[in-house]
Amino acid sequence: MEVTTAASATGSDFESLRTRARNVRRLILQLAGTATGCHLGGCLSVVEILIALFGHVMRTQSPASCYEPSRYDSDHLVFSKGHAAAGLYAALAEFGWVDAQLLIESYNADGSPFTGHANARVPGVEFSTGSLGHGLGLGVGLALGRRLREETNSVFVVCGDGEMGEGSNWEAMQLASQHRLANLTLIVDRNGGQNDGDTESILAQRDLLQRLQTFGFQAFEVDGHDLGALCQALQAPVASRPRAVVANTQKGAGLPMLQGKHAHYATFTATQLRRALRSLEEASS
């Protein structure tokens, strides 16, 4: 089985990763343009996080060799914010796990594994998620299990900031800290929004960085759309404790037409999709 390890960071790497990010955003917009739409805001905010993980940080097996989600020789991604499934599927398509055309044609369609919340029947998706507050507990189990097997594989868990309201996360954080799980990284996609509005006004995650530190994590705060900064925080050495990266992001990032709007879920008409794709190209040129 072919295993690719994290490359060293060079300027040209990041340029190619930025191209990948644009591709993923384009695909997400196309999924928003299908009959049922997607959680657009949270999909666009998490793009760089996924690109940094798949394209630079994670040890992953070649997709062709591995349909089975428990990828014994690779690092783990637990995508806890399962409502951003379209973003995850699009990233998996960009890295060759799934066929982009098939994804667009069958997303949310009758009998398709591409459900609106992340589905483990899709190659590269390790756990079915969508109900919030499960990913970190799963990540703690993977990290403990890997340690018990005397293996060095890393575990990455991606949560939303609204999701931090779930008490189960704080249970799991205590356990990650208690067992000094240095092979575990929590990434919070802090896009500031949740279903009913601004996280700040509903259940604010004030001083999130400090809270994570208090719970025993080595915590970093970065611009979640800066691939260089993300990769650096995700790879910085930690001393026998779990790592947390608070990635400050924007809902609808990369799409100027969505700036400042509460774009939690969107279903584009054909005209809106054309406009969105044009907006994306203008923003990236």
Partner 1 sequence: MSAVAQNSSDLATTPEQWLAENIALSNRQIFRHALARFADVDARIVLLEADLAGNGDPFPARHGNRFFNVGICEATMIDMACAMAKLGYIVFAHTFAPFVMRACEQVRNGMAYGQANVKLVCDYGGVAGAFFGPTHHAIEDLAILRAMPGMTVLSPADALETVHATQAIASHDGPVYMRLGRNRVSRLQVPRVTFEIGRANCLKEGSDVGIIAHGEVGVAVALCTAQQLEDMGVSALVMNMHTLKPLDEAAVAETAHRTRLLVTVEEHNILGGLGGAICEVVCSLGLGRRVLRLGLQDRYDAYAGSHEYLLRGHGLDAEVAAQRIVALLPHPRPMAQATRNSI
Q: Which positions touch partner 1 (CB under 8 A)? A: 69-70, 78, 120, 126-128, 131, 134, 136-142, 144-146, 148-149, 167-168, 171-172, 174-175, 178
Smallest distance, partner 1 to C-beta of residue 169, A: 9
Smallest gap, in angstroms, from Cβ of residue 193 to partner 1? 24
Q: How far is the CB of 136 from partner 1 (least distance, A)?
A: 8
Query: How many Cα atoms occupy the beta-carbon half-sphere of 65 within 13 Å?
Result: 11
Burial (CB count <10 Å: 0-12, 13-18, 19+), residue 282? exposed
Question: Residue 6 Cβ, how far from partner 1 at the closest point, in Å?
Answer: 22
Q: d(Cα 217, Cα 118) in Å, to the nearest integer?
A: 27
Asked if 266 contacts 29 with a C-beta cutoff of 8 angstroms, the reply is no
The whole-angstrom separation of Cα 74 and Cα 62 is 10
Taking Cα atoms as reference points, which of 222, 227, 189, 221 lies closest to residue 21? 227
Q: Residue 37 or 170: which CB sits closer to partner 1?
A: 170
Closest distance of CB 128 from partner 1, Å: 6
DSSP symbols for 69-124: S--TTS-EEEE--GGGHHHHHHHHHHTTSS-HHHHHHHTT-TT-S--SS--TTSTT
| Closer CB to partner 1, 138 or 245, in the complex | 138
Q: 241: closest CA among 172, 169, 183, 186?
A: 183
DSSP 8-class letter at 248: E
Considering the complex, state which of residue 51 and residue 132 has its C-beta at the smaller distance from partner 1: 132
d(CA 72, CA 65): 12
Least separation in angstroms between CB 173 and partner 1: 9
Q: For partner 1, which is the closer residue by CB, 142 or 208?
A: 142
Compare residues 34 and 177 and give the one whose CB is closer to partner 1.
177
Q: How far is the CB of 85 from partner 1 (least distance, A)?
A: 15
- Closer residue to partner 1 in complex, CB, 16/178: 178
Q: What are phi and psi of 155, to 5 degrees?
A: -125, 125
Residue 201 burial by Cβ neighbours in a 10 Å radius (0-12, 13-18, 19+): exposed
| Residue with smaller CB distance to partner 1, 100 or 142 | 142
